[in-house]
Chains A and B, each alone.
Chain A
Amino acid sequence: MANDKPFQPFRNLNAKIASIPMILTALVIFVGCTLWTIFYSFTKSKLLPKLDFVGFDQYERLWGTRRWLVSIENLLIYGSLSLIFSLLIGFLLAALLDQKIRFEDTFRTILLYPFALSFIVTGLVWQWILNPDFGVQHAVRSLGWESFNFDPLYNANIVIYGVLIAGLWQGTGLVMCLMLAGLRGIDEDIWKAARVDGIPMWKTYLFIVIPMMRPVFITTIVIITSGIVRVYDLIVAQTGGGPGIASEVPAKYVYDYMFQSQNLGQGFAASSIMLLTVAIIVIPWAYLEFGGKRRG
């Protein structure tokens, strides 16, 4: 506090030395590899990286490929619905749990449990549940509703919603926990004050509590969106991208073209576009969120 000089390279030297490895990792691995990838996306690299420049050819091919377009569309549907519903359901569950109910711990554990499973397990479990010959459809039919039809994973038009169900089942528990922590952070006096003023409960939530929980919402949104963009294993386990190419996602396109079809250039181009998409969303938001005021 006594020191007002703006620049002091040797202050807190230990901490600075200790953070060198992390700084190097961030620079070399994140920034370095990203630049490398973008650089090589302009080449004709096949199995091995080669410096054989072809300009924007890889990108032209990418946007002319139906599978890529389907992937992008799926990501948009899955992403927006998954964001909305996991916030909505997560918040509702948290609000319900916050009513000082009995066995809260038990419910919390049950609801959070799916999150302990990997996406691969989640995908397989839901593949079986949604299988028309073994799962829900079969169960309902054997109860007597012979005409009951529910086979999202075998219908190209709705397969992405089948994946969404599994994704929500797995992810909402965590959102609920974060929200619950946020709700617990609200001072009890605010609730008392609201009650004294005779504000109905839903209004208290909507106009007082939720605005106060802004930081929690931001953390949650960041966690959910980063999960959405890299969704890969759920698709691989649950549908394999099928039926046909109806549930393909960008991350799977990148993997398949980089490794399976031995076309690094094409995979790099696709992953650069993924990065660009994320950047377009994140940068303006981060600017609005953190740009104006400087916080420690």
Chain B
Amino acid sequence: MKALRAIFAATTALCAATAANATDLEVTHWWTSGGEAAAVAEFAKAFNATGNNWVDGAIAGGGGTARPVMVSRIIGGDPMGATQFNHGRQTEELIEAGLMRDLTEIAEAEGWKDLINPPSLLDSCTVDGRIYCVPVNIHSWQWLWLSNAAFEKAGIPVPNNWDEFVAAAPKLEEAGVVPLALGQQPWQNSGLFNVLIATLAGPETLVQVYGEKDVEVAAGPKMERVFKAAEDARRMRKGSNVQDWNQATNLVITGQAGGQIMGDWAQGEFQVAGQVAGEDYTCLPGLGVNEVISTGGDAFYFPVVDDPEVQKAQDQLASLMVSPAVQVAFNLKKGSLPVRGDVDLATANDCMKKGLKILASGNTLPDVNQLNTEDTNTQLNDLFVEFFNDESITAEDAQARFVDIVAQGD
């Protein structure tokens, strides 16, 4: 095997040597749905235009499936050229172990500190004052996507906030529409719950519970209300027998479901389906209750490699990803917000403009990935995927288990 690999490596090197400075750079990511693939193709196009070669390493199945593959490749000494992660605490230990490249020089040369907005994005890439990743977009979770057609079918107006939506659920059910689309993937279930915290109990509660691991707040009355709302959501999701998030979004697109709570990446799906914001679907940032968005997102990390050619290509890709033209092209397709405030998104649709406005007004909160370790997130996933699928668990029981998880977190 090793010998075979050496031969492959040698032939690749030979090819690389003959084709002057066209360096292959393998980039791994988990962007495989329609809208996502279209967005990542923008990166590839721009990167290939620099004379390098983007080798696409898409890993299907979402971050939960892809991250272990990426991590074991990096730890196992077979690093890719660049890889996606959600910035935050997912890569903490890889950086501490010195497996990721320090990008501080490029960042300083290009003045990322002044460009990137909000600055918390770059803070999440920073460990001990050094910068290790390139934020490429801002994704927020706090959106309620509603199908106008579904509400028309039920003969009621499209709701303006979460409470109206809950009240409209019986009418939707009568009309044969599933009120709330929710897939089976665990992260969707805990994600929905975290949105309920951020909007119904407020961003400060989310930071207290996850950031400071405040057990009293987690057990307190504000969270009680959130758990009651989660019970409503559980009732409303009955009948959405789908697995993946984009299948759930598709239920909303086709009017089989009334709405979905999902991050703004869902927008890419509406776009691919040719739907128009405001006409075919309605988006309510912060569930129409509390207009806030979280500023998590995706970032690219560059594992340490020895080959200077590859390093050069890595540098090129890093600076290309934050360049204005690429930022616009990528984020329009992805349905996410750009990481710099100085680019023109005139062609953005209504929903994205709402997001940009909230971002400009500073109503932001940190993403759960920036506050929790993956360990805590997995425990939350386990709790909520069970809660949303098993009606026998009461809100009180779930809250007690939630408090335990918060107490265990670090």
Contacts and interface: CB of A to CB of B under 8 A. Distances in A.
Interface of A: 46-48, 61, 65-67, 131-133, 154, 156, 240-246, 256-257, 259-263, 266
Nearest to A153: B241
Contact of A246 (B185, B388, B389): B389
Contacts of A240: 184-185, 243
A261 B374 contact: yes
Contact of B375 (A46, A48, A131, A133): A46
Main secondary structure of the interface of A (DSSP, over half): loop
Interface residues of B, number: 31
Interface in B184-221: 184-186
B243 A257 contact: no
Contacts of A262: 71, 90, 93, 373-375
Contacts of A48: 75, 93, 97
B71 A242 contact: no
A260 B378 contact: yes
B232 interface: no
A61 B93 contact: no
Contact of B72 (A133, A244, A259): A259
Nearest to B93: A47
A286 to B, nearest CB: 34
A132 B379 CA distance: 30
A68 to B, nearest CB: 10
Nearest 10 pairs between A and B by C-beta?
Answer: A244-B389, A261-B378, A259-B68, A47-B93, A244-B386, A243-B389, A263-B375, A262-B374, A261-B375, A242-B184
B184 A260 contact: no
A244 to B, nearest CB: 3
B408 A46 contact: no
B375 to A, nearest CB: 4
Contact of B386 (A131, A132, A245, A260): A245
A66 B386 contact: yes
Nearest to A151: B241
B67 interface: yes
Contact of A242 (B67, B94, B373, B389): B389
30 contacts: A46-B373, A47-B93, A48-B93, A48-B97, A65-B379, A65-B382, A66-B382, A67-B386, A131-B241, A154-B241, A156-B389, A240-B185, A242-B385, A243-B389, A243-B390, A244-B387, A244-B389, A245-B382, A245-B385, A245-B386, A246-B389, A256-B378, A257-B378, A259-B67, A259-B68, A260-B68, A260-B374, A261-B375, A261-B377, A263-B378
Contacts of B184: 240, 242-243
A94 B161 CA distance: 64
A246 B382 CA distance: 11
Contacts of A66: 382, 386, 401
Contacts of A131: 241
A46 B186 CA distance: 21
B385 A244 contact: yes
Contact of B241 (A133, A244, A259): A133
B157 interface: no
B64 interface: yes
A259 B378 CA distance: 11
A243 B386 CA distance: 7
